[in-house]
Amino acid sequence: MDKIKQRIDELINKINKASYEYYALDEPTITDQEYDDYYMELLSLEEKYPELKRKDSPTNRVGGVVLEKFEKVTHNTPMLSFDDIFNEEELELFDERIRKVVNNPTYTLEPKMDGLSGSLIYKNGILVRGATRGDGITGEDITENIKTIKSIPLKLTKDIDIEVRGEIYMSKLSFEKANVERRKKGENEFANPRNAAAGSVRQLDSSIASKRNLDYMAYFIPNPEDYGLKTQSDSLKFLKELGFKTNYKLNGYAHNTKDIEKYINNLSTIRKELPFAIDGVVLKVDSLDDEKKLGFTARVPRWGIAYKFPAEEVLTTLKEIKYTVGRTGKITPNAIFSPVHVDGSLVSKATLHNFDYIKEKDIRVGDIISVRKAGDVIPEVVEVKLDRRQDDSKETIMITNCPICNSNLVKKDANHFCTNDKCDSRKIEGLIHFVSRKAMNIDGFGERIVEDFYNMNYIKSIDDFYTLYKYKDELKTLEGFGEKSIDNLIGSIENSKNNSLERLIFALGIRYVGDKTAKILSMNYKTIDNIINADYDSLKEIDDIGEKIASSIVDYFNDENNINLINKLKELGLNMNYLGKEINTSNENINGKTFVITGTLSLPRDEIKEKIESLGGKVTSSVTKKTDYVIVGESPGSKEAKAKELNITILNEEDYNNLIM
Ligand code: IVH
């Protein structure tokens, strides 16, 4: 037995060393075949002698633990982030601020990894916990998923207790592969590697996370002094020695802003060739003593900053303008262009919003256009390179008929609409909306599946989702589906019957009724029958419901077809009641009052908002004459000034706590 235990230890050492060289250093010393042989030998020994299986065995990385939910964890030291700067001027100001406190600072310069930060805790050198940042104070325990990340050592080279912070990310290659898989399955593609990584660590089944090939770059030790470290660069070296992947080939130093700019320019040039997405440069004062002197503001460390790259603009050729029809019949022109990598993801189309937008920019097929990602995710066409336009290019002319059903289009304001209620495209979009995340949230229904099921006549109208089980045997035989995925799909459909009313109201797709309005309606009326019976005047009495929304709701429920649909859904067993918290209107300080929250408070804003709403108050984002109270935390910014200007009562956290008592 001892011999076997010894062999297991030996194999684990060999595999860990090989993984470190391969994943952390990118310098493998053994072949894949040798690695596989060790791995298989270890696996078979562990199968034969399960009592000898070590907790830190690399065979644990395949995942397989399925959790009910993620436990909340409180970070030992808050997980802060840095303030962002965007240009040289702001960089100069940052350097000036540092120089007021520190003589001749040295900065470490590191690529700003575009993923999500993760904290790892080791006890006696063994990984015991991995957590997300969350709101910085509390995060979620994602240990099982963390264990599947091969660049994270399960055991360190030293038997110490330590917390390590770094970025969980997905390489560009794994991101492309994951999207190929998702396309095949008809699932929505990940917008970028960051979303892909964030979605993957939040999987309750760790075998899914394991397949996503996540990675981890270590960059920070919250308590460096415990290990005798004197500088941030010492920390990075120490992390590498412990077995972590660090950016040691790309990290740099600088003593002045000129050198920092050089580093930034260089990194921004090679950014595209890097195997992972980065969105800027992180600057940290190297000396830990100096860091201490600089300290923190209420929100962020003063000793570092994140320089964000401007959104990348990439040139490509416009191949086609393709028109799509939304569920309201709205026609959206889309630019279809030669695929290009923008900020880490491959894009080939962008919305052109409406025809006025095309006219204003004079966008034509064949043009060279520059595209970038707006708000980080959705691609947009920035401009047309007019000087590179072909002589024979033709001005774009708006279509006059629906591209799907050929009905005439009408123009309302800037948009064109299909006039046919029964247009297939509108119906499909309506069905996609019904299952979407903010609506009924039915897992497993990608847009393509809805479209395919519509075209195959399985789902023609909303109620058909709930009788889909009748075709279970047929569906199982469809390409890309199996017993399990159809069972899951039908299970998710069944579950959605229990949703609270606001989801159904939003999912019905009533014009102008977004998820927020759906919630307000449901909170006020409690049951669908009450909403159906509500007249225009009583609807309009509700804050936030104006004339346009009120008449749209009345029109919707005056339509017999819609009432028939609701009756069918009732018969099928869908919940028609609001299940959220009751509103307690007894606190007159809060009920009916409007609040704005600004600055950092000790509780997360969402929690405060929920509390206020549960007492009948409302939380809005901007300070206006209608605001009753502004709750002010640390570093409040312009909203406090605006409140003073408008003479609105300002509450600090203590005042607020007294008010809700
Ligand atoms: S240091 C106090 N180093 O960017 C901040 N962060 O604003 C300690 N990030 O939320 C983090 N690359 O998720 C640090 N080399 C790097 C980083 C990095 C990316 C992320 C991190 C943090 C944000 C910084």
Phi-psi region of 398 (alpha: psi -120 to 50; beta: other; left: phi over 0): beta
Find the distance separating the first CA and the last CA of the chain, reported in whole Å. Answer: 65
Averaged confidence pLDDT in the chain? 92
Which CATH number does the domain housing residue 37 bear?
Answer: 1.10.287.610
- 219, 167 contact by CB (below 8 A): yes
Strands (DSSP E) contained in 455-557 are none
The alpha carbon of 135 and the centre of ligand 1 are apart by a number of angstroms equal to: 14
Q: How far is CA 306 from CA 51, 215, 278, 281, 469, in A?
A: 48, 21, 12, 6, 52
Q: 484 pLDDT band (50/70/90 cuts)?
A: confident
Ligand 1: which residue has its CA nearest to atom 13?
A: 117
CA 115 to ligand 1 centroid distance, Å:
10
Beta strands in 236-313 (DSSP E): 252-254, 278-285, 304-308
Does some domain include residue 153? yes
Could you tell me if the CB of 222 is within 6 A of ligand 1? Answer: no
pLDDT, position 375: 61
Query: Of 238, 268, 263, which Cα lies nearest the Cα of 253?
Result: 263
Do 191 and 278 share a domain, yes or no? yes
Parent domain of 386: 313-417
CA of 81 to the centre of ligand 1 (A): 6
**Tokens at residue 116, please?**
């999500």
H-only helix segments in 20-74: 32-48
Q: Which of residues 378, 396, 417 is at a domain's end?
A: 417
Q: Do 349 and 321 meet the contact criterion of CB atoms below 8 Å apart?
A: no
Residue 405 has pLDDT above 70, yes or no: yes
Token couple for 299: 């929100």
Q: Is the CB of 80 under 6 A from ligand 1?
A: yes
pLDDT exceeds 80 at position 410 = yes
Q: Which of 64-73, 115-124, 363-372, 380-389 has the lowest mean pLDDT?
A: 64-73
Taking the C-alpha atoms of 589, 590, 593 and 598 in order, what is their torsion angle to the nearest 10 degrees?
Answer: 110
CATH of the domain at 333: 2.40.50.140
pTM for this entry: 0.64
Domain of 462, CATH number, reads 1.10.150.20
pLDDT digits (tens, 9 = 90+) for 210-228: 999 999 999 999 999 999 9
Q: Which of 75, 80, 82 to mutate to test the pocket of ligand 1 (most atoms within 8 A of CB)?
A: 82
How far away, in angstroms, is 247 Cα from ligand 1 center? 13
Q: How far lies 320's CA from each of 317, 334, 337, 367, 406, in Å?
A: 9, 8, 7, 10, 19
CA dihedral 515, 516, 522, 523 (to 10 degrees): 150
Q: Where are the beta strands (DSSP E) in 460-604?
A: 594-598
Q: How far apart are CA 621 and CA 632, in angstroms?
A: 13
Per the structure, the count of domains in the chain is: 6
Instruction: Report helix, strand or coil for 218.
Output: strand
Tokens of 390: 């072909």
What pLDDT is attached to residue 332?
Answer: 95
Among 81, 85, 281, 309, say which to mutate for ligand 1: greatest number of ligand atoms within 8 Å of CB: 81
With a 6 A CB cut-off, is 591 part of the ligand 1 pocket? no
- Regarding beta strands 618-620 and 594-598, do their DSSP bridges make them parallel or antiparallel, or are they unpaired? parallel
CA distance 445 to 431: 10
318 and 257 assigned to the same domain: no
In a domain, 59, yes or no: no
Residue 354 and residue 290 share a domain: no
Same domain? For 130 and 44 the reply is no
| Report for 230-239, 470-479, 604-613, 649-658: range of highest mean pLDDT | 230-239
For residues 513-525, give the mean pLDDT.
Answer: 92
Residue 559 and residue 607 in one domain: no
HEC string of 111-137 equals EEECCEEEEEEEECCEEEEEEECCCCC
Q: How many C-beta atoms lie closer than 10 Å to residue 405's C-beta? A: 16
Cα separation, 303 vs 179, whole angstroms = 38
- Any ligand 1 atom below 6 A from CB of 306: yes
CA-to-CA distance for 154 and 246, rounded, in angstroms?
Answer: 16
Cα four-point dihedral sign 156, 159, 160, 161: positive
Q: Which residue, by CA, sits nearest to atom 5 of ligand 1? A: 81
Q: Are 217 and 120 in contact (CB under 8 A)?
A: no
**Do residues 41 and 7 share a domain?**
yes
What are the residue numbers of the active site?
112
Sorting pLDDT into bands at 50, 70 and 90, what band is 195? confident
Residue length, the chain?
661
Confidence of residue 192 (pLDDT cuts 50, 70, 90): confident
Q: Which of 11-15, 188-192, 440-444, 497-501 has the lowest mean pLDDT?
A: 188-192
Pure H helices in 396-513: 424-435, 447-455, 472-476, 483-496, 501-507
Amino acid letter for position 638: S
Same domain, 290 and 409: no
Q: What is the pLDDT of residue 485?
A: 87
Cβ of 220 below 6 Å from ligand 1: yes
Residue 442: inside a domain:
yes
- Atom of ligand 1 lying closest to residue 84 CA: 7
Q: What confidence tier does 631 reach under pLDDT thresholds 50, 70, 90?
A: very high
Q: What percent of the chain has pLDDT over 70?
A: 99
CA of 304 to the centre of ligand 1 (A): 10
Ligand 1: does its nearest atom lie under 6 Å from the Cβ of 282?
Answer: yes
Q: Is the C-beta atom of 291 inside 6 A of ligand 1?
A: no
For residue 292, the CA-to-ligand 1 centroid distance in Å is: 18
> Does residue 86 fall inside a structural domain?
no
Distance CA 120, CA 6 (A): 28
Q: What is the DSSP letter of 478?
A: S
Residues 6+ apart with CB under 8 A from 503: 438, 439, 440, 441, 496, 518
pLDDT score at 450: 94
| Sheet architecture: strand order including 84-85 | 84-85, 304-308, 278-285, 107-113, 252-254
Rounded Cα distance, 143 and 118, in Å: 10
Residues 132, 263, single domain; the answer is: yes
Give percent above pLDDT 90 in the chain: 69
With residues binned 3-state (H G I as helix, E B as strand, rest as coil), the percentages for the chain, rounded to 5, are: 40, 20, 35
Q: Is the pLDDT of residue 92 over 70?
A: yes
In a domain, 547, yes or no: yes
pLDDT of 374 strictly over 60? yes
CB atoms within 10 A of CB 294: 19
pLDDT of residue 298: 73
Ligand 1, from 77, 83, 86, 113: best to mutate by most atoms within 8 Å of Cβ? 113
288 in Cβ contact with 224 (< 8 Å)? yes
**Same domain, residue pair 317 and 366:** yes
**290 φ, ψ to 5°?**
-65, -40
Evaluate if residue 261 carries a pLDDT over 70. yes
Is residue 580 situated within a structural domain? no
Same domain, 190 and 248: yes
Model confidence band, residue 377 (pLDDT cutoffs 50, 70, 90): low
For residues 211 and 296, membership in a common domain is answered with yes
For residue 168, what pLDDT is reported?
98
| Residue 62, domain member (yes or no) | no
Instruction: Give yes or no for residue 307 CB within 6 A of ligand 1.
Output: no
Q: How far apart are CA 317 and CA 331, in angstroms?
A: 23
Expressed in angstroms and rounded, the spacing between residue 82 Cα and the centre of ligand 1 is 7
Residues with Cβ within 8 Å of 363's Cβ and at least 6 positions away in sequence, in order, are 318, 321, 335, 352, 357, 369, 381, 384, 396
Ligand 1 mutation pick, 84, 112, 253, max ligand atoms within 8 A of CB: 112
Position 150 in a domain: yes
- Report how far ligand 1's centroid is from the alpha carbon of 351 (Å): 32
Q: Report the 10 Å Cβ neighbour count for 523.
A: 20
Task: Supply the residue whose CA is at minimum distance from atom 10 of ligand 1.
Answer: 81
Q: Residue 74: is it exposed, middle or buried by C-beta count within 10 angstroms (0-12/13-18/19+)? A: exposed
pLDDT of 116 above 80: yes
**Ligand 1, atom 3: nearest CA belongs to which residue?**
219
| Most distant CA atoms of the chain, gap in Å | 84
- Out of 465, 496, 527, pick the residue that ends a domain: 496
**Which two three-digit tokens encode residue 378?**
């959705």
Looking at the structure, tell me whether residues 396 and 438 fall in a common domain: no
Give the mean model confidence (pLDDT) for residues 449-463. 94
Out of 256, 275, 303, pick the residue that ends a domain.
303
